[in-house]
Amino acid sequence: MTVKFTETVLRDGQQSLIATRLKMEDITPILNKIDQAGYYALEVWGGATFDSCMRFLNEDPWERLRKIRKEVKNTKLQMLLRGQNILGYKHYPDDVLEKFIEKSVENGIDIIRIFDALNDIRNMEKAVEFTKKYGAEAQGTIVYTTSPVHNLDTFVEKAKELAETGIDSLCIKDMAGLLTPEKGYDLVKMLKSNLDIPIEIHSHNTAGFAFMTYLKAVEAGIDIIDTAISPFSSGTSQPTTETMAAVVNDSEYNQQLDLSVLEDIGDYFRELRKKYQEYLGSFEVDTRVIVNQIPGGMLSNLRNQLREQNQLDKYDEILAEIPEVRKDLGFPPLVTPTSQIVGTQATFNVITGKKYGFVSNEFKNYLRGMYGRPPREINPDLIEDIISSSEVISNRPADNLEPIFAKTAAEIEGFAKSEEDVLSYILFPEVAESFLKRNK
């Protein structure tokens, strides 16, 4: 059996370790070399990279994708899509989701990894449908977490339900690095016996499990593993590409990466990392994640934000508060946007000194059911104290949203020059408007 590799350095690797600050000028010189390495896919887009391009780097995320596609001829390009949230932090209507997927594929994406923070299949169905309509591979995702209401059987049932939507492959997304080796082995075995599609694993080494979990996943028959080239690997990022390639080489399984090419890629990023020293996150194992469950990308951003506000001394207290807020919200997996909702609320609780004395609009919308169905019932006291129970919805959240793409396009035609610009604006209005006007 051949184990395939997806390289994450251009998306999740740099998102997890340098707060998504990697510039296109530093990506372009290494693309041809990466394309020669023998990867199955490159994760290059989506997640927080879209927002960060405009917000921090003064780059057009669509142009970044086009430039990467122009250079990468042999390897599939992959993106991460937050289901009905697309790349934003709320649900968007179906017309926007369809147009976004159409343009993503048109600009170069081959594989769209689709997830929902609550594992609510209703929030992924349309994304799967549109991805297949426009000719890309739809990879469904189960978001792994631990709680009193999650176990391997619940994940397998979710995966089977997701497979019925017509996904081409399935990803186990372990964003906080909580999947232990034995559970990883059992989960992959169970999925392989229940599904007839390729299975991929994506984890972070935050808690120190991921290398071992990947090896056990390989032994259980995993088809694809997500890794990051060594200078941007481990810690809150993925296991190391070179290490896992050597591990697979020294087993009964095969892999197709060229180790000498990987060495060149590693040398390039090792030198480049010095340029981003101010953003560099931790490579250390932090076992506190086993309790607080904060995903890798969020840890680096939380530290940065607290540092900027001179509140870094509150970091440990906020980490301890996060599980309490999560329990009140029905044990949602902590992945964008639920990780931001829970993390922000925990921060408010600690900094103000009053639990739920101040709550965000996103927090209220979560209580209203506008992000979907949580794994367990929300603490009813929260609903009673913060909103009214009459505001709570039970249907698919996007069914309550009117189409907005054409209307928005007409409103901003003065500074939006393309459908891609309109999509950028719909997802991030203030950031995109500033960016588009600045770069006329």
The CATH number given to whatever domain includes residue 381 is 1.10.472.90
Sequence-ordered list of residues with C-beta below 8 angstroms from that of 407, at least 6 positions apart, any chain: none
Report the Cα–Cα distance between both ends of the chain, in Å, rounded. 51
Tell whether 134 and 40 lie within a shared domain.
yes
Tell whether 31 and 153 lie within a shared domain.
yes
pLDDT class of 300 with cuts at 50, 70, 90: low
Q: Could you tell me if 425 and 434 are in contact, meaning their C-beta atoms sit under 8 angstroms apart?
A: no
pLDDT class of 373 with cuts at 50, 70, 90: very high
Tell whether 391 and 413 lie within a shared domain.
no
Which CATH number does the domain housing residue 154 bear? 3.20.20.70
Alpha helices in 329-396 (DSSP H): 338-352, 361-367, 380-386
Q: What is the pLDDT of residues 417-435, one digit of tens each?
A: 999 999 999 999 999 999 9
Q: Is the pLDDT of residue 306 over 90?
A: no
Q: How far apart are CA 65 and CA 77, in angstroms?
A: 9
Mean pLDDT of the chain: 95
Q: Please give the pLDDT value at position 76.
A: 98
What average pLDDT does the segment 113-130 reach?
98
Q: Is the pLDDT of residue 284 over 90?
A: no
User: Is 177 part of any domain?
Assistant: yes
Which strand (E) or helix (H) includes residue 227?
A: strand 224-227
What average pLDDT does the segment 327-356 reach?
92
Q: Is the pLDDT of residue 293 over 90?
A: no
Tell whether 144 and 275 lie within a shared domain.
yes
Tell whether 232 and 304 lie within a shared domain.
no
Q: 10 Å Cβ neighbour count for 145?
A: 25
Tell whether 47 and 164 lie within a shared domain.
yes
Last residue of a domain, one of 279, 305, 335: 279
Range of the domain at 416: 404-438
Indicate left, alpha or beta for 54 from its phi (over 0: left) and psi (-120 to 50: alpha). alpha
Tell whether 389 and 423 lie within a shared domain.
no
Tell whether 425 and 380 lie within a shared domain.
no
Q: Please give the pLDDT value at position 419.
A: 98
Tell whether 155 and 252 lie within a shared domain.
yes
Last residue of a domain, one of 250, 279, 308: 279
Strand partners, 201: 172, 225
Task: Report the number of distinct structural domains present in the chain.
Answer: 3
Tell whether 328 and 412 lie within a shared domain.
no
Q: Could you tell me if 174 and 149 are in contact, meaning their C-beta atoms sit under 8 angstroms apart?
A: no
Q: How far apart are CA 375 and CA 238, in angstroms?
A: 26
User: Is 284 part of any domain?
Assistant: no
Tell whether 426 and 369 lie within a shared domain.
no
Q: How far apart are CA 225 and CA 207, in angstroms?
A: 18
What average pLDDT does the segment 329-340 reach?
91
Q: What is the pLDDT of residues 11-42, one digit of tens each?
A: 999 999 999 999 999 999 999 999 999 999 99
Tokens of residue 16, six digits: 């997890």
- Distance (Å) of CA 402 to CA 95, 227, 331, 362: 9, 39, 30, 19
Per the listing, tokens 């189960």 go with: 142
